[in-house]
Amino acid sequence: MVYVLGFDEVDSTQVAVVGGKGANLGELSRVGGAGVPDGFCVTTEAFARTVAGVAAFDDRVDALTRLEWSDRAAISALSAQLRRAVEEAVVPDEVAAAIVAAHARLGADDACAVRSSATAEDLATASFAGQQDTYLNVVGSAAVLEHVRRCWGSLFTERAVTYRLRNSFDAKKIQMGVVVQRMVFARAAGILMTADPLTGDRTVVTIDAGFGLGEALVSGLVNADLYRVRGEDIITRTIATKKVAVEPVPAGGTRVREIAHERRNEAVLADADVLRLAELGRRTEAHFGCPQDIEWCWADGTFRIVQSRPITTLFPVPAVDDGENHVYVSVGHQQMMTDAMKPLGISVWQRTSTAPMRDAGGRLFVDVTAMVSSPASGAALAAGLGKSDPLMGDALRTVLDRGDFVRRVPAEDSGRPAGVVADAPAPLETDPGIVTELISASEASLAALERDIVAESGPALLDFIKSDIEGELRRVLFAPRSLQVITAGMDAAEWLNDRLREWLGEKNAADALSQSIPGNVTAEMGLALLDVADAIRPHPEAVAYLEQLEDDDFLNDRGCPSEVRAALAGFLDTYGMRCAGEIDITRARWRESPATLVPTILGNIANFEPGAAARRFEHGLRDAERHKQRILRRLRALPGGQAKADETERMIERVRTFAGYREYPKYAMVSRYFVYKQALLREAQRLVAADVLRDRDDIYYLTLDELHEVVRTHHADQDLIDERKDAFGSYRSLTAPRVLTSDGEALTGAYRREDLPTGALPGLAVSAGTIEGRARVLCDIAQATLEPGDILVTAYTDPSWTPLFVGIAGLVTEVGGLMTHGAVIAREYGLPAVIGVEHATETIRDGQRIRVDGTNGYVEILSPP
């Protein structure tokens, strides 16, 4: 057994042997000029050998892994037991001897830093920064051994355990190494980031600097000087008032001392040293191949790097290698799905769209570089995006205002990207038959797909699906007549809002006129689930069965009451292909996971009377008609009023004829996706049976082309699949930006408004009216327990959230636009709604009373929970 390794024996491939910090330091010692202080690593074998003597150690770790990350009391109790047991463990003689001998070679009388190095620490996907312990100025072999034990024990601090549980790390697989280094008595120390941690800009190096040991900065005892460097220029410097510093104590340990008043506002580093340190940071980044979070110290005029790890919070940059700057806009913010997608889902969506898309961080972005290469087309794009999502429009204008980020081309050369449709031709006649014809053609196409795909398998199935996506699906989805209908409905609504505000002073008048529009497949879905509740409500045993439900596949359970099965059968036949995040083909559909619907069904049973769906629709019809007649009366009283009233009535009819179709193309698309998915899963099952794949769902971590090759060759790269699974796990914790540049800068935009009440949260007004009520902050429809009058607050809604809309009084989302799902359905149901409210789910607490002003576009928090 090897219990100790020198830095010269360690590199970045040995995380399992010495932990993340130790592996990085071994690798870092190979970087010229890094000046890594001498030291050695206590291996994970030493940890395993020691804890083998701890009573019931494995059983207690198993118990820890079964806890929920939110169960703080249980985590605190069990983690404290484990930590105490490890710290009190007897270190085997051979382990202690190896550590003492290595310390003697380092210098038995020299002070050391003893630092934890877990195998899940300082990784590319999770930093674990500050989760385990570090001890400075440790003097003597006995003290080193004691602090090695403490580092081992810090694997079980409450904060470290919670972090692992929250990020789905298996504690049973995590081991602890320890780094022992010669102590550097630094005049100054700090943190260097080779990318701006706030904006993500990879061209900017940021340096935090304070006097004394770095512990003062890490623990938050002092404000740091902050320098930002781009190239050879310090672009900003902020000199802080530094009142204290941490310094070593001769007998061991550290203390906090006050800094002399005359030095408190002194710059820690001279400009030349800032530039020298920034260059060392870039050299370190180049060695590791990714942006680095670096701990540095300065002693005797020399910079020393004491730690370097990947920055795990940066959003990845799309991979393009043409030497040009690029600008990307988020697809997810326009599609109401900002969650990370798996590779199969990304590749299917890329084939579906004709726009130039790039993927990064499990999300898709449209490359708009060509459109922003001329001032005119760039301004038009920003204005168009800003109309539906003001934050995205503002973020894009921020890039455009810089003027020189994208190489300019003559206006005639800056074409719109493929897939961006030109202006619609002359308006259609207001004829409901056009919509009926489009839907019938789509249904016939879907029926043909369902019939023909059954005969396909093997490589031919993949060829069939790719051909259908690029041929028939695109033909149905992007049919010019279909886009004309959608545009006609949007234009008519915009006309009503503009003219009625001009003539009558009414804001967002089209909202009330758009209630209970016929043919909105998504709005009809919400009402249909009310009918499901009506069918189950009269049967107490069926209700009780759903209340005690534990099996997700309950419809195939022999104990499932026939009333439940019958009630859901028709609903799932029509809507079973839908789910949260439905543009990702890998997401579980309602047909596959019907239990997702149960909380909403039970809520409908409790909160509504029989016949609520029909009554709600009729109420919307009457209310829309009442608003129409009121508006027409007011118009006729104006000069030239009859002509204005006649034109307005024609536009109202146009909205009510065409606006409902807005939701249908996506419904048609996900219907085809579900057919593809069922066929692909059948093929995946054959691959599992042939021992090509370990699990059917492994196909989700392959692109469509990669899956085609696996089916053809009957060979899969399991290491690649596992790597993709790990990457997906890390992507889920990232927040996708609305606009992203090729420098890595993530821009979110801002509302530039001065018309807000004090403390109000700005957003986009998408459905008129004002409502006060209890905020229900939700992230998962399956956890929804709503009461009448509640206001739904969530990150985004897609069609799968529609069943909740029948039971809420208002809507607030972080993401969305004027014609995205939440806005369309809120208007259909007559719900006041404000969307695009940044950080709404963090700022608004569940249970708080809030006011939603869907006419003026803001939210007010009225009371604490």
What is the C-alpha to C-alpha distance for residues 747 and 712, in angstroms, rounded to an integer? 42
Contact by Cβ (8 Å): 359, 303: no
What is the C-alpha to C-alpha distance for residues 287 and 236, in angstroms, rounded to an integer? 26
What is the C-alpha to C-alpha distance for residues 520 and 525, in angstroms, rounded to an integer? 9
For residue 40, list its beta bridge partners.
Answer: 6, 180
Which residue has 């930093």 as its token pair? 127
What is the C-alpha to C-alpha distance for residues 823 and 833, in angstroms, rounded to an integer? 7
Written as six digits, the tokens of 163 are 């972090």
Which residue has 């420098």 as its token pair? 743
Angle formed at CA 336 by CA 332 and CA 340, multiple of 5 degrees = 45
Q: Which one from 103, 627, 708, 821 is the annotated catalytic residue? A: 821
Q: How many CB atoms lie within 10 A of CB 625?
A: 14
- Residue 235 burial by CB count (10 A; 0-12/13-18/19+): exposed, middle or buried? exposed
Q: Is 333 a catalytic residue?
A: no
What is the C-alpha to C-alpha distance for residues 756 and 175, in angstroms, rounded to an integer? 53
Phi, psi at 815, each rounded to 5°: -130, 145
Sign of the CA dihedral running 124, 126, 131, 132: negative
What is the DSSP code (8-state) at residue 188? E
Written as six digits, the tokens of 692 are 């090509």
b (16+ CB within 10 A) / e for 847-862:
ebebbbbbbbbbbbbe
What is the maximal distance between C-alpha atoms in the chain?
A: 101
For residue 116, list its beta bridge partners.
Answer: 178
Contact by Cβ (8 Å): 333, 818: no
Write the CA distances from 359 to 342, 587, 719, integer angstroms: 11, 18, 21
CA-closest candidate to residue 181, choices 87, 106, 235: 106
CA-closest candidate to residue 288, choices 26, 635, 465: 26
Contact by Cβ (8 Å): 175, 19: yes
Detail the DSSP E strand segments found in 223-378: 225-230, 233-238, 244-248, 254-258, 292-299, 302-310, 327-330, 357-360, 363-367
Write the CA distances from 213 to 244, 276, 366, integer angstroms: 11, 20, 46
Q: Which residues are catalytic?
A: 821
